[in-house]
Structure 1
């Protein structure tokens, strides 16, 4: 299985090798909130960042699965519903095999 993973999403189309070269497209989500002045420094950012997800869906015309390939925090269930990121499954790699977090949201 080959994954295309982009770090600079504005240039993703220029670097995408094509549907015949990859099995899925991925993105990394490392965005814990640091250096805040409201006392929330270092707290997890549980946003679903759907804008990145849908940019990658458009990149492949919906022909490839989009995966959050690495992350520091999994989006909260509330944010997944509010941001309408349906049909997603998250398996947190830091959990032991019997404690893996699997979260599935069904489309409306």
Structure 2
């Protein structure tokens, strides 16, 4: 399979939401693409605005998936620091430093 993959041409898709100057959110974009792809390139729509859309719309749209993915990663049962994180969060909330709604 490795030989096949090495010689297979890359077909870079033209997506309206593709970025040219955002090198920071590539992980979030990749995860969003994997989450939204249903096997049909012709109708693939991940709901993101174009880069440099008015009012930084794409950046605002990336905030929700960013939060969702990081919470899932941090609180996943395989995370060895999960209990430590939960304990710190509970202590933080007990001190009344913040209210999460």
TM-score calculated relative to the size of structure 1: 0.20
Between structure 1 and structure 2, the one with the greater Rg is: 2
- The structure with the greater share of residues assigned to helix is 2
TM-score of the superposition, structure 2-length normalised? 0.21
Q: Which has the higher contact order (CA 8 A, sep 6+)?
A: 1
More strand by share: 1
